[in-house]
C-alpha cells in the first residue's frame, strides 16, 4: 500500500506540476534577468521550496530591501503553513524525524492533493500520498528553476507568461470539481468567493488567500458550533 | 546565501511546528470542522482573487474571466479537474487572437 499511495500522490499532483513547471521557469527566468548566479537561484528553490516566499524574497532582493524586511515578508507569506500543519496534525501518524521530510515537502499543492485524494479513497496512506505528491513537485520545481534560468540566458526577454492566469487555470478545474463533488460545501464556496471582493480592495491576492483560509475556518467552526447547540 | 538558509529554516519551522506539537483545542469538534474547511478555502483563495483583481483593480470583464467561464462546463461534465488547465489556456490564447 506504501507504493500505491506514493504513486497516487505523484500522479495526482501532475496537473499542479504543470503550473509548478511554468512558475519554476518564471522564477529561474526572473532570477537570471536580475543578474543573480544560477547556484543562488537554484539554492532558493531547493532550500526554501515555497513559491510565493521565493518570489517575494527575489523581488525584495532586486529592490535592495533590508535583509530583516525580506525575512519578515517571507515568514508572513508562509504563515499559512501553520494552518496546514494544524489541519494535518492528526492525519500524520509518522513519528520523530520521519515527519521532517513531510514538513519540508508540505506545499499548497501537496496539502491539497493529499487531503482531497485521501478524502476520496480512505484506504490510501496519507503520509505516502503527501510524500509522493511533494517529491514529484520538488523535482519539477527545481528542474524548472534551472531550465528557466538557462532559457533566459539563451533567449533573453522574448518569452512572457500571464502570471496570474497560470494560478487561476491551475486551480480552477479543482475548484469546479470540488463544487460538483461536495454539495454541502457550496454555501461556503459562495460566501468565500463574495468575501474575496471587499478583501481584494484592501489586500494583495496572497493576503486575500490567507484571509479566506482564516475566514473559511471561522465560518465552518461557527456552523458546527450552531449545529451542536441545536 | 545566509539569508536563504534562514528563510528556508523558518519555512520548515512553520510547516513542522504543528505536525509535532498538537494545537490547542484540537480535540474540539468545532476546531476540527474549522480545519476541514481549510482546503476548500485554499481552492477559492487560489482562484477568485487572482481572477477578479488585476494589479489591485476589480476587473470582471477580461479575457481571463471569459476563458474561465467557458472552462466551467468542460470540467463539470468531464469530471476531470486536470482538463481545466488545458481548456482554460486553450480558451485564453484563442480569445487573445480573436478579441
For residue B42, list chain A residues with Cβ-Cβ distance below 8 A.
Answer: 108, 111-112, 209, 212-213
Close Cβ partners of A133 (under 8 Å, ≥ 6 residues apart): A9, A10, A12, A13, A105, A109, A110, A113, A114, A117
Q: Is the pLDDT of residue A159 over 60?
A: no
Q: Are A105 and B39 in contact (CB under 8 A)?
A: no
The reported pLDDT for the residue numbered A46 is 94
Which SS3 state, helix, strand or coil, does residue B56 take?
Answer: coil
pTM of this prediction?
Answer: 0.69
What is the DSSP track for A101-114?
HHHHT--HHHHHHH
- Cα A139 from Cα A130, distance rounded (Å): 14
Close Cβ partners of A123 (under 8 Å, ≥ 6 residues apart): A1
Task: For chain B, give the percent of residues with pLDDT over 70.
Answer: 97
Note whether B75 contacts A106, CB cutoff 8 Å.
no
Q: What is the pLDDT of residues B36-56, one digit of tens each?
A: 787 788 789 888 988 888 777
Q: What is the pLDDT of residues A27-65, one digit of tens each?
A: 888 788 788 999 999 999 999 998 878 887 887 787 677
Query: What is the mean predicted confidence (pLDDT) over B19-34?
Result: 78
- Cα B5 from Cα A206, distance rounded (Å): 23
Q: Is the pLDDT of residue A160 over 70?
A: no
**B53 to chain A nearest CA, in Å?**
7
| Chain A residues 119-158 with a CB less than 8 Å from chain B | none
Tell me which of A44, A212, A230 to substitute to probe the interface with B (most B C-beta atoms closer than 10 Å): A212
Close Cβ partners of A149 (under 8 Å, ≥ 6 residues apart): A28, A29, A31, A32, A38, A41, A42
Diameter over CA atoms, chain B:
55
The reported pLDDT for the residue numbered A134 is 93
A30 CB neighbour count, 10 Å cutoff: 19
Distance of CA B94 to the CA centre of its chain: 24
- Cα A24 from Cα A148, distance rounded (Å): 7
Q: Chain B within 8 Å of A212 (Cβ-Cβ)?
A: yes
ipTM of the complex: 0.84
Amino acid at each position: 500500500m506504501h507504493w500505491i499511495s506514493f504513486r497516487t500522490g505523484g500522479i495526482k499532483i501532475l496537473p499542479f506540476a504543470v503550473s509548478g513547471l511554468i512558475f519554476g521557469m518564471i522564477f529561474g527566468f526572473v532570477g537570471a534577468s536580475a543578474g543573480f548566479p544560477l547556484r543562488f537561484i537554484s539554492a532558493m528553490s531547493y532550500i526554501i521550496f515555497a513559491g510565493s516566499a521565493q518570489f517575494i524574497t527575489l523581488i525584495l532582493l532586486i529592490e535592495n530591501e533590508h535583509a530583516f524586511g525580506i525575512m519578515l515578508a517571507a515568514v508572513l507569506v508562509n504563515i499559512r503553513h501553520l494552518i496546514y500543519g494544524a489541519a494535518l496534525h492528526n492525519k500524520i501518524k509518522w513519528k520523530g524525524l520521519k515527519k521532517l521530510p513531510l514538513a519540508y515537502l508540505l506545499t499548497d499543492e501537496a496539502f491539497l492533493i493529499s487531503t482531497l485524494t485521501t478524502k476520496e479513497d480512505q484506504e490510501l496512506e496519507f503520509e505516502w500520498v503527501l510524500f509522493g505528491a511533494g517529491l514529484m513537485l520538488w523535482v519539477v520545481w527545481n528542474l524548472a528553476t534551472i531550465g528557466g534560468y538557462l532559457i533566459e540566458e539563451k533567449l533573453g526577454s522574448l518569452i512572457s507568461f500571464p502570471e496570474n492566469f497560470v494560478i487561476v487555470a491551475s486551480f480552477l478545474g479543482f475548484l469546479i470539481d470540488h463544487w460538483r463533488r461536495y454539495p454541502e460545501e457550496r454555501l461556503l464556496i459562495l460566501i468565500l468567493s463574495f468575501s474575496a471582493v471587499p478583501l481584494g480592495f484592501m489586500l494583495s491576492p496572497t493576503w486575500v488567500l490567507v484571509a479566506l483560509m482564516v475566514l473559511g475556518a471561522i465560518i465552518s467552526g461557527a456552523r458546527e458550533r450552531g449545529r451542536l447547540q441545536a | 546565501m545566509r539569508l536563504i538558509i534562514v528563510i528556508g529554516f523558518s519555512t520548515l519551522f512553520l510547516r513542522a511546528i504543528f505536525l509535532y506539537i498538537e494545537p490547542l483545542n484540537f480535540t474540539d469538534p468545532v476546531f476540527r470542522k474549522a480545519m476541514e474547511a481549510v482546503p476548500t478555502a485554499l481552492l477559492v483563495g487560489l482562484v477568485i482573487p487572482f481572477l477578479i483583481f488585476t494589479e489591485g483593480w476589480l476587473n470582471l470583464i477580461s479575457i481571463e474571466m471569459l476563458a474561465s467561464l467557458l472552462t466551467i462546463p468542460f470540467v463539470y461534465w468531464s469530471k476531470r479537474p486536470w482538463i481545466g488547465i488545458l481548456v482554460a489556456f486553450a480558451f485564453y490564447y484563442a480569445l487573445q487572437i480573436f478579441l
